[in-house]
Amino acid sequence: MTATLSRREFLRIAALTGAGAAVAACAPAAAPTQAPAEPTAAEQAGAEQPAEQAPAAAEAVELNVLAENWGEVYNALMKVIGDEYMKENPNVTVTWEFDPEWRTKLTTLLAAGTPPDLAFMRRDFLASVAPKDVLLPLDDYLPRRT
């Protein structure tokens, strides 16, 4: 038997996948490396030079993501986005939690001062948490359309 996917469900999954990709692109960039120091007079004169050091590894980052459990299709798509991002950024670990009681869990985490790094929310819930100053505007992380 073949499962059918309604247009509304497809559009919701596509929109959430795009939103997840945009948010995943907001992870902090690796720290810039320093330029090599100018050689000293002794080094220029042929003195023994120290061995090159390997560049420092980027600091490990763990992103905890809380999302509503919308079923296997949605959850699998989001995990693929996370996996692809981790392949491109080996210092980042994305941990997903798909919770059917996400509103209660998120409210509790916010009240405790231990929110997840990222949470997907419905518009109606945004209106209730926005006055609490717990949302991060993404304007500075996303390119502007002209």
Q: Which of 131, 141, 140 is nearest to 110 (CA)?
A: 131
Contact 110, 134 (CB under 8 A): yes
Ordered by start, the domain boundaries in the chain are 61-136
Q: pTM here? A: 0.56
Q: What pLDDT sits at residue 117?
A: 92
Strands 92-99, 118-119: parallel, antiparallel or unpaired by DSSP?
unpaired
Tell me the pLDDT tens digit for each residue of 1-58.
555 656 666 555 555 555 554 444 444 444 444 555 555 555 555 555 445 554 556 7
- Tell me the CATH number for domain 61-136: 3.40.190.10
